[in-house]
Chains A and B, each alone.
Chain A
Amino acid sequence: MKPRSKRLLLLGSAGALLIGAVALVLTAFQQNLVFFHTPSEVAEGKAPQERAFRIGGLVEEGSIMREDDGYTVRFAITDTAHVIPVTYRGSLPAMFQEGKGAVVQGILGEDGLFRATELLAKHDENYMPVEAQFALDQAHKAQQTVQY
């Protein structure tokens, strides 16, 4: 065997071992690498109890309600399978909207209400012009009119 092929083999096997090790570590830390849990995971009791964690999902349509003090907000976060009611005090990011993604950090109470201390809007990977969204909405409306 040429020294060159020997070095290539050595490098290749070291690389394979490294990839294997990293894959094992990443699998072991799977739970800690997720930024948030889904409402379904929370419902199954997979989320940490008695300490702060994050829930991510869609803000349920028609669920955003402001309380009388003017800055406490109640809404529900859902992954369409499960719904979790959330209360949050503080300013809202501009992108926070019903039907859009959001991530909340806080503690889940015994009563099933999630008390959030931090709220982030989650953006999706879709980019389109305003006119295209308008056209989509029109088409959607037209379809509904036909159905009724």
Chain B
Amino acid sequence: MTTDIKDRSGQGKGLFRFSAPPVFYPLAGRLAPWFAGIAGVLTVIGLYIGFFVAPTDFQQGEVYRVIFIHVPAAWMSMFIYLIMAFWAAVGLVMNTRLSFMMTQALAPTGAIFCFLALWTGALWGKPTWGTYWVWDARLTSQLLLLFLYLGFIALTSAIEDSRRADRAGAIIALVGAINVPIIYFSVQWWNTLHQGASVSLTQAPSMATTMLWGMLVMALAAWAYTIAVALWRVRSIILERERHTDWVKAELDVQESRA
């Protein structure tokens, strides 16, 4: 059992080396605080631009400032799901344990961002549209995304055997991923109450520059936050799942002697 670590890390070439939990665990521990720090700094800058520097909107007045949280949260909720689907596919094809652990680690953060996007959207909808909620294609598909996240978390934690839980979760992650382009393009494909995208890859943004900067800084903050908490969460998952291995026992002894 003591040769376990060497054997596994010795097998991998290039980036695959990091797919071994004993190698990835300390790396994640070193990276996470940096991303957390970046997230903190960017959030302060982004919120400052959003609430103090960015001008008042010509139509909506101050209520538009919800975009500094709403849009980054909505982008992140969609993107995290795609990343989960990616790791699920890698896990199924390559049989790497760490990929499934990454899928697990990302889900709660995705669910939080999804909820945040829906919640802030409802609070914005009341003064702007005159209603908290409508069943239009954009809102409904985003709500479906929240249910997919919750379904993933519920299913994977309901199954005791982690290998079976991973496979069941991977199917939800992969099948549900088709909802993400539907959310994104819903405002183009169908008439929706929700407005179209102000920022896209193909067109010049239809927003004032400071507003745009505030939003992009907040989006980067959301990225950094996601990476930080996902790394910390994956560390816990690694410890939990590999608790019977010698390297985890050794690692915990080291941590205990430090404390």
Interface positions, chain A 110-131, Cβ under 8 Å from B, are: 119-131
Residue of A33, A96, A128, A133 near B190 (CB, 8 A) is A33
Q: How many residue-residue contacts, CB under 8 A, span A and B?
A: 110
Q: When chains A and B are docked, how far (Å) is the Cα of A103 from the Cα of B195? A: 12
Closest to A37 in B: B191
* With A19-B178, A127-B206, A129-B58 as contacts: A35 and B130 at CB distance below 8 Å: no
Q: Is the CB of B57 within 8 A of A128?
A: yes
Chain B contact surface mostly: loop
Q: Collect the chain B residues with CB atoms within 8 Å of residue A121's CB.
A: 128-130
* With A119-B130, A125-B196, A127-B57 as contacts: A18 and B178 at CB distance below 8 Å: yes
Q: When chains A and B are docked, how far (Å) is the Cα of A100 from the Cα of B208? A: 20
Q: Is the CB of B128 within 8 A of A34?
A: no
Spot the interface stretch: B27-35, B37-45, B87-95, B221-229.
B87-95
Q: Is the CB of B195 within 8 A of A120?
A: no
Q: Collect the chain B residues with CB atoms within 8 Å of residue A34's CB.
A: 137, 190-191
Closest to B54 in A: A129
Q: Is the CB of A38 within 8 A of B191?
A: yes
Interface positions, chain A 71-119, Cβ under 8 Å from B, are: 92-96, 100, 103, 119
Interface size range on A against B: 35 or more
Q: Is the CB of A127 within 8 A of B93?
A: no
Q: What is the distance, in angstroms, from A15's C-beta to the closest C-beta of chain B?
A: 7
Q: What is the distance, in angstroms, from B214's C-beta to the closest C-beta of chain A?
A: 11
Residue of A22, A26, A124 near B195 (CB, 8 A) is A124
Q: Collect the chain B residues with CB atoms within 8 Å of residue A7's CB.
A: 92-93
Q: When chains A and B are docked, how far (Å) is the Cα of A15 from the Cα of B86? A: 12
Which A positions have Cβ atoms within 8 angstroms of B? 4, 7-8, 11, 15, 18-19, 22, 26, 30, 33-38, 56, 92-96, 100, 103, 119-133
In the A-B complex, the 3 residue pairs with the smallest Cβ-Cβ separation, listed nearest first, are A93-B130, A129-B55, A133-B58
